[in-house]
Amino acid sequence: MPKPKPRVIYWFRTDLRLHDSPALKAALGLKPECLYPIWTWDPHYVYHARVGPNRWKFLLDCQNDLSKSITKLNSKSKLLLIREAPQTLFPKLFKEWKITHLVFEKDTDAYARERDEKVVELAKKAGVEVIIKTGRTLYDPDELVKQNKGKPTMSITQVQAAGAKIGSIPRPIPSPKSLPDPGTTNLSFVQDKPANNPDINSTQRNAEESSYTGLAGPNNDFSIPTMSELGLKEATTPHRGGESIALKMLASIIANEDYTATFEKPKTAPTAFDPQATTLLSPHLHFGSLSAREFYWRVQDVVTNYKGRASQPPTSLTGQLLFRDMYFGAQAALGYAFGQTYNNPHCRFIPWHLPSTIHPGSGLITGEYQIDDAEAEVFFRRWKEGRTGFPWIDALMRQLRTEGWIHHLGRHAVACFLTRGGCYVDWERGAEVFEEWLIDHEAACNIGNWQWLSCTAFFAQFYRCYSPVAFPLKWDKEGEFVRRYVPELAGFDNKFIYEPWRAPIVDQKRWGCLVRGDGTESAEEDGKVKMYPKPMFDFKERRDVCIRGMKNAYKIGLHGDDPKVLDGSWRELFDDKAAGPTEGSKGPPGAMVEEEDGVGAGCENADGHEEVDHKSPPNPPARKKGASAKSDTKKRTHKREASQGTLDGIVTRKKNKA
């Protein structure tokens, strides 16, 4: 009896493309009788990760574009959106569609690993063969770690050395010319509707989320959900997703040989907009609408043939991709611990303000944080809402919120400002905001960059501090970037554009904007004159406080896995007057602060601060000098459950203590 022809599911995840897909090539290599291109509507992304409307929009763009491209190759085919968690869906789907093979691209994100392990186990039980290929990064992150003596890749030289041992980066694979038909798409089984608790993304919606109404969608046609079906607020980003756009953008970059071959990241202006100074391909790399290897080799070929002097890694374009691989290698080796200080052997312990709450069972951060200091909470809110009173910082945060993208050096500026160079607030708070707002949010890179900028890992020269005045001045003396994103200040003279509080009142009036208050007052209160807040602190003063705090923490030299960090007794080593929550000699795990009313007490509706609403909620009162940090302690319902990957609420996360 002849062997039946394979019936294959190709499971799309972070590889929303047809070009350069080793996994798709493997699927087609099976010469299947039918190929089902599917996307499982993972409740993690819908409910449990922090995903703002702009990134949602980008994802839906990518899916729609991919689906069209599939249909172009086979009019009977398209991307089949199935509205259920992969962990419950697959066993039923395997049976219903008589599947013989499941093929997908490897994903080393902490959650993705767990999800995929579970799916592989289910496939094995169902007698389905699983094929997994690497294609998301230049190198397989696990292989990179292996060649780095089993350790996380913490520097670019380590990546280059380990990469050299692995061998050359694979050349990209062309897109397929045709695709097999899908088989019958009947779904006779019952949908397991996923739980929507916790629904972290509720703040992203202004209508009911209804994407789980039926396995194949509202019209039973496997359609890609719409923003309104998801109940999401309007997306405001001008940036669009999809493989077609990504390849066009790449082609236009490659066509400019000088730009491609001589690109040096530190020399690109963070103040440039329309057009920006860098490629803006990062969101496409995130969703896989552009292959990193395609990008690498298209650039490398230009560099090889370039007649002039080409730039080199790490500052060159290919160097940027090596940094991406470095962070993937660090994450691959450390798993969930990579995304937090607590229990992370490679992350320096600094007693930042607003520390994360640690789940006592798993040792993982819960997504909630402790307000150890009311002033720090005010700093954090004003930072997030773009009303610090420092125009450079506020312009960046407003660009981030509305457009979902800011230049890499802009990210440096705001990250340094929030952590070691201003507010002394935990880097995990900043990483959460970026996670919510960035359209190119890549867990590994976001976490790694926040650790870099806060000098807790990867980088240690904490005395190199970005000034919110001097740094932008280097790039944009006229303050055009500020005028674009902080229009209240559009009329200000160049001399005061980064320090508007120094302008004489008479000039402020003449230029149509008064510098006063904290940014919560309505602009109309003064007739036609607009208002811009006063700076929330004296930068030089805060910089000195922060550097002293950092110096002290470095001297004490704890890392996230130190027993004193794990049990809270690190306090014995820090002076009560040091920056951060340092009072007393012992406390709960990590940098958490003891709660007056015990675990679980406190503010239930704290998510109100997620809203950028200058009228509400009011800022908490500043802490009186000498008052106990305890008295200000509140538990926030600020959830970030499993934000490092795409965790599904149905599957319980492994304990991280092993």
Q: Which of 22, 180, 314, 535 binds DNA (CB under 7 A)?
A: 314
Residue 142 belongs to what H/E stretch?
A: helix 141-147
Q: Which two tokens stand for residue 400?
A: 């981030």
Query: Is 341 annotated for ligand binding?
Result: no
Residue closer to DNA by CB (options 24, 303) is: 303
Residue closer to DNA by CB (options 64, 449) is: 449
CA angle 515–521–524, rounded 5-degree value: 85
CA torsion 223-229-232-237 (nearest 10°) is 40
Size of the site for DNA (CB under 7 A): 34
**Binding of DNA by 155 (CB under 7 A):** yes
489 closest CA partner among 497, 477, 501: 497
Residue closer to DNA by CB (options 73, 269) is: 269
Query: Is 653 annotated for ligand binding?
Result: no
Alpha-carbon gap, residue 658 to 649, rounded angstroms: 21
Please report how close the Cβ of residue 409 comes to DNA at its closest, in angstroms: 6
**Binding of DNA by 470 (CB under 7 A):** yes
Residue closer to DNA by CB (options 97, 450) is: 450
Stretch that binds DNA, among 39-47, 192-200, 314-322, 622-630 (CB under 7 A): 314-322
Please report how close the Cβ of residue 453 comes to DNA at its closest, in angstroms: 8
Which residue do the tokens 């340092």 mark?
582
DSSP assigned state of 45 = I
Alpha-carbon gap, residue 389 to 25, rounded angstroms: 53
CB neighbour list of residue 121: distance below 8 Å, 6 or more residues apart = none
Which string of x and - marks every residue 598-637 that binds DNA (by CB under 7 A)?
----------------------------------------
DSSP assigned state of 533 = P
Q: Which two tokens stand for residue 500?
A: 């508007």
Q: Binding to DNA (CB under 7 A): which residues in 157-186?
A: 157-158, 161
Question: Phi first, then psi: what are they for 637, rounded to 5°?
Answer: -90, 45
Stretch that binds DNA, among 72-80, 116-124, 319-327, 396-404 (CB under 7 A): 319-327
Please report how close the Cβ of residue 283 comes to DNA at its closest, in angstroms: 17
Query: Is 185 annotated for ligand binding?
Result: no
CA separation, residue 184 to residues 34, 187, 440 (Å): 9, 9, 36
Residue closer to DNA by CB (options 377, 499) is: 499
Alpha-carbon gap, residue 276 to 406, rounded angstroms: 9
Q: Which of 237, 291, 320, 582 binds DNA (CB under 7 A)?
A: 320
Burial of 33 (0-12, 13-18, 19+ CB in 10 A): middle
DSSP 3-state of 353: strand
Alpha-carbon gap, residue 538 to 540, rounded angstroms: 6
**Binding of DNA by 156 (CB under 7 A):** yes
Residue closer to DNA by CB (options 95, 464) is: 464
- Which amino acid, one-letter code, is at 602? G
Alpha-carbon gap, residue 442 to 643, rounded angstroms: 11
Query: Is 282 annotated for ligand binding?
Result: yes
Residue closer to DNA by CB (options 189, 554) is: 554
Please report which residue ranges of 385-478 form alpha helices under DSSP H: 391-403, 408-418, 427-437, 443-453, 470-475
Please report how close the Cβ of residue 337 comes to DNA at its closest, in angstroms: 17
Q: Which of 191, 244, 262, 315 binds DNA (CB under 7 A)?
A: 315
Which string of x and - marks every residue 537-576 that binds DNA (by CB under 7 A)?
--------------x--xx-x-------------------
Query: Is 327 annotated for ligand binding?
Result: yes
Cis link prior to 4 (omega < 30° from 0)? no
Q: Which of 8, 179, 406, 409 binds DNA (CB under 7 A)?
A: 409
**Binding of DNA by 530 (CB under 7 A):** no
**Binding of DNA by 471 (CB under 7 A):** yes
CB neighbour list of residue 641: distance below 8 Å, 6 or more residues apart = 48, 198, 200, 366, 367, 647
Which string of x and - marks every residue 101-120 that binds DNA (by CB under 7 A)?
--------------------
DSSP assigned state of 47 = I
Please report how close the Cβ of residue 270 comes to DNA at its closest, in angstroms: 9
Alpha-carbon gap, residue 36 to 99, rounded angstroms: 9
Query: Is 73 annotated for ligand binding?
Result: no
Q: Which two tokens stand for residue 44?
A: 């993690």
Residue 7 belongs to what H/E stretch?
A: strand 7-11
Residue 64 belongs to what H/E stretch?
A: helix 53-73
Q: Binding to DNA (CB under 7 A): which residues in 236-275?
A: 264-266
Please report how close the Cβ of residue 251 comes to DNA at its closest, in angstroms: 24
Please report how close the Cβ of residue 264 comes to DNA at its closest, in angstroms: 7
Residue 295 belongs to what H/E stretch?
A: helix 292-305
Q: Binding to DNA (CB under 7 A): which residues in 410-469?
A: 412, 452, 459-467, 469
- Which amino acid, one-letter code, is at 466? Y
Query: Is 396 annotated for ligand binding?
Result: no
Please report how close the Cβ of residue 138 comes to DNA at its closest, in angstroms: 15
Residue closer to DNA by CB (options 80, 413) is: 413
Stretch that binds DNA, among 45-53, 100-108, 150-158, 185-193 (CB under 7 A): 150-158
CA separation, residue 73 to residues 23, 66, 67, 342 (Å): 17, 11, 10, 49
Please report how close the Cβ of residue 141 comes to DNA at its closest, in angstroms: 17
Please report how close the Cβ of residue 46 comes to DNA at its closest, in angstroms: 32
Please report how close the Cβ of residue 565 comes to DNA at its closest, in angstroms: 16
**Binding of DNA by 279 (CB under 7 A):** no
**Binding of DNA by 494 (CB under 7 A):** no
DSSP string for residues in 471-516 = HHHHH-TT-HHHHHH-GGGTTS-GGGSS-GGGS-HHHHHHTTEEE-
Residue closer to DNA by CB (options 315, 362) is: 315
Alpha-carbon gap, residue 333 to 422, rounded angstroms: 31
Residue closer to DNA by CB (options 63, 278) is: 278
Query: Is 324 annotated for ligand binding?
Result: yes
Binding site listing: 278-282, 320-327
Q: Which residues of this protein are in contact with DNA, per CB under 7 A?
A: 155-158, 161, 264-266, 314-315, 319-320, 323, 408-409, 412, 452, 459-467, 469-471, 474, 551, 554-555, 557
Residues annotated within the binding site for FAD are 278-282, 320-327
